[in-house]
Amino acid sequence: MSAYIKIEGLRKSFKNKGERTEVLKGIDISIDKGDIFGIVGFSGAGKSTLVRCINRLEEPDSGKIRIGDTEITALNKKALNIRRRKIGMIFQQFNLFDSMTVFENIAYPLTLIKTPKRETEEKVDKLLELVGLSDKKNAYPGSLSGGQKQRVGIARALANDPDVLLSDEATSALDPVSTLAILDLLEQINDELGVTIIMITHELEAAKRICNKVAVLENGVITESGRTRDIFLDPKSKTGRIFLEVYKEFRQDNTFTGGEGI
């Protein structure tokens, strides 16, 4: 089977004070439909830039990105906007509208495309049920815990029935208990809705829990990729090995107590 998402020779640089730094140095990744594909690496490795290139929130300098039959990198602005509706995205800081209720936040992508009111209500109610927040429909984000805010973010990302969900450090601002609950929810969404998930994280624990495959990103280069269990049983790259060491220490120290309520 050919890959569902194919990234080939992706390069991206930024200009800072006249100097150009290459952040992505020729990235090749193949992701199958239904994968939960982890991209792990330390801070500054280029993870967010990579994930933002996938839906062209950042324009790549060169390289190709294909999702299904669509050459994302060949789309004009209008076609890109339409295709983007089927690519959900969630963020570390949730990016909710604080002045809107939970309902309005989730409905936002639907109102943008002028979905009829009744249809919108039905869809949002379903999503609220999926993420376990039906009782918070009229609450404002300010009154929610971090875990609940991310549930709203996830529901909003699913409003247009995406085939792909991009997750950029979605659990990195959460305590361990909320993190586990959100990871389980992502796994459920992958399983029940068949959404392919690309999960960016600097937390090995998170990737190990739900990703079937991972790629290690080190300074703008993929240094290894494969099945999660193979990579972390025997990492070949420097970052992979450091990650594993940190992970082992984390397992010894961490007691998984506390939690902010989810």
Ligand X SMILES: Nc1ncnc2c1ncn2[C@@H]1O[C@H](COP(=O)(O)OP(=O)(O)O)[C@@H](O)[C@H]1O
Footprint of Mg ion (CB under 5 A): 47-48
Which of Mg ion, ligand X, none sits in contact with 41, Cβ below 5 to 8 A by type?
Answer: ligand X
* Comparison of 148 and 167: residue with beta carbon closer to ligand X: 167
Per CB under 6 A, does 38 bind ligand X? Answer: no
Q: Select from 14, 97, 250, 256 the one that contacts ligand X (CB under 6 A).
A: 14
Closest Cα to residue 191, out of 173, 210, 219, 208?
A: 210
* Residues 182-211 close enough to bind ligand X by CB under 6 A: none
Per CB under 6 A, does 49 bind ligand X? Answer: yes
Number of residues that bind ligand X (CB under 6 A): 11
Which of Mg ion, ligand X, none sits in contact with 130, Cβ below 5 to 8 A by type?
Answer: none
Per CB under 6 A, does 46 bind ligand X? Answer: yes
Per CB under 6 A, does 23 bind ligand X? Answer: yes
Q: How far is the CB of 45 from ligand X (least distance, A)?
A: 4
CA–CA dist 170, 183 (Å, integer):
9
From the list 41-49, 84-92, 137-145, 254-262, the region that binds ligand X by CB under 6 A is 41-49
Which of ligand X, Mg ion, none sits in contact with 89, Cβ below 5 to 8 A by type?
Answer: none
From the list 38-46, 74-82, 103-111, 137-145, the region that binds ligand X by CB under 6 A is 38-46
Q: How far is the CB of 60 from ligand X (least distance, A)?
A: 13
Per CB under 6 A, does 239 bind ligand X? Answer: no
Which residues bind to ligand X, rule: CB under 6 A? 14, 16, 23, 41, 43-49
